[in-house]
Structure 1
Amino acid sequence: MNLTPQQKKTCEQIINVFESGSLQGDYSAISIYRDGPHGMRQVTYGRSQTTEYGNLETLVQMYVDRNGLYSGQLKPYIVKIGVVPLADDAGFKKWLREAAKKDPIMREVQDDFFDQRYFQKAMKWASGQGFTLPLSALVIYDSFIHSGSILDFLRKRFPESPPVKNGNEKVWIKQYVDAREAWLSTHPNKILQKTVYRTQCFKQEIAKDNWQLSKLPIMANGIAVTV
């Protein structure tokens, strides 16, 4: 999977819009959803939204390790993240917001974190499965951001094999997007049902034959991406 800088930026901006409604991403964005373990409320934070019971501890640790301006305030929380519920901890949420708004180090850390933890992992998976097209990269990256990976049970819901097994890349992506939309639209969690704008965006680009992500603008949840 070899993306040009513009293709990668296009992918990142589309995901930023999906996650925080902004092309550049809202580094200070905090949302509370009941999508933690057993439906627990949890903090989701940052440019591309990482979660309290997911990788937020890693992000905060990276920030503290770089001696960010608010390291002293956030360091005591590292041992609590994912252990002690923090959705109602006003101090924790305050310092996360302040760090993102006032300290460039937090924004740099988030850029590195989301690239390492999500984009690079997604591209490694994509390359290993034989995918090469930029639109495929976008679809796969979104799944790593939104669901943590390409979910195995979804792969069993459509027949096409990945390219590494002599499948047709475009057919696989189309069938995967269709399967993912069907899953999201009928999910018992109403929050997930509302995220079908992601798959609808991909279906629009597939219909446009925009596999190189070169036909701009791309409409992402009502916002035009014009890298």
Structure 2
Amino acid sequence: MITSQQKTKILQVINVFETGTKEGKYDTLVIYADGKNGSRQITYGRSQTTEQGNLKALIQMYISQNGIFASQLKVFVNKIGEESLVDNTAFKNLLRKSAREDVIMRTCQDDFFDILYYKPAFQFFQSNHFTTALSLLVIYDSFIHSGGVPSFLRERFAEKIPVNGGVEKKWITQYVNTRDLWLGNHSRKILQKTIYRTECFKNQISTNNWDLSKEIIANKVKIN
């Protein structure tokens, strides 16, 4: 069973990975050349959803909750993901302003990232008979960073998943090591730079921090 304290710590680690703070920066907006065919796109929010991914769904949720800036953002909804908004200053300013000034946007982000990433990650964790908090952290991070637990990575190591008779800690260790090698040797430099995630997990494994009760240093930020 995952306790509320363990879930909080898991979210804090991911927040650090995504925005550099335990609390998460809801107004974080960065442009990366990680879209289709190397195109530039907006990444936004506490857990960084993308313009070509799920940003439209987040804005639709905010509008449905009648946020302060809903009417202004409505103008852009049908453009998100259809045409590039990376150079649209008005849109980017609205995203930042809504996160800073409207609690509805911050609440929407919490709900949105829980529905879109945490719950599917927890379903994978539970249905495959994982039990430890570190396992959930590794799986949740993979859902945030890679959209799931990629089958092509799972095929690169021998240990079976627990539901199929494998040993949980061996599977997690082998998955983390495999993902670390994949990220570190990726053809895209932007992904090579994210090995701080897997290095953090390797440190937790080496210190036997499976219940996450010990201090975690995530990308140089201490989490107790």
TM-score if structure 2 supplies the norm length?
0.99
Post-superposition CA distance 1:150-181 (Å, at most 9, x none): 01110111111100000000000000000001
Instruction: Give the alignment of 1:26-41 within 5 angstroms.
Output: 26-41=25-40
What is the CA-CA distance between 1:73 and the residue it aligns to?
1.1
1:128 equivalent in structure 2: 127
Instruction: Give the alignment of 1:119-158 within 5 angstroms.
Output: 119-158=118-157
SS of the equivalent of 2:30 reads strand
1:112 equivalent in structure 2: 111
Counterparts of 1:72 and 1:205 in 2: how far apart (Å)?
46
Say if 2:201 is the partner of 1:202. Answer: yes
Instruction: Give the alignment of 1:63-212 within 5 angstroms.
Output: 63-212=62-211
What is the CA-CA distance between 1:38 and the residue it aligns to?
1.2
What is the CA-CA distance between 1:26 and the residue it aligns to?
0.3
Counterparts of 1:86 and 1:187 in 2: how far apart (Å)?
27
SS of the equivalent of 2:194 reads helix
Q: Give the letter for the 2:118 counterpart.
A: F
1:225 equivalent in structure 2: 223
Provide structure 1 residue ranges, at least 5 long, that are not aligned to the other structure. none
TM-score if structure 1 supplies the norm length?
0.97
Q: Give the letter for the 1:222 counterpart.
A: K
Provide structure 2 residue ranges, at least 5 long, that are not aligned to the other structure. none
Q: Give the letter for the 1:154 counterpart.
A: L
Counterparts of 1:168 and 1:39 in 2: how far apart (Å)?
39
Counterparts of 2:119 and 2:141 in 1: how far apart (Å)?
12
SS of the equivalent of 1:209 reads coil
Post-superposition CA distance 1:33-90 (Å, at most 9, x none): 1111111111000001011111111100000000000001111211111111111111
Counterparts of 1:62 and 1:193 in 2: how far apart (Å)?
33
Instruction: Give the alignment of 1:45-60 within 5 angstroms.
Output: 45-60=44-59
Identity among equivalent positions (%) equals 53
What is the CA-CA distance between 1:8 and the residue it aligns to?
0.2
Q: Which runs of 4+ in 1 moved over 2 A?
A: none
What is the CA-CA distance between 1:198 and the residue it aligns to?
0.2
Counterparts of 2:187 and 2:90 in 1: how far apart (Å)?
32
1:18 equivalent in structure 2: 17
Counterparts of 1:163 and 1:91 in 2: how far apart (Å)?
49
Aligned residues: 224
Considering only aligned residues, what root-mean-square deviation do their CA atoms show, in Å?
0.6
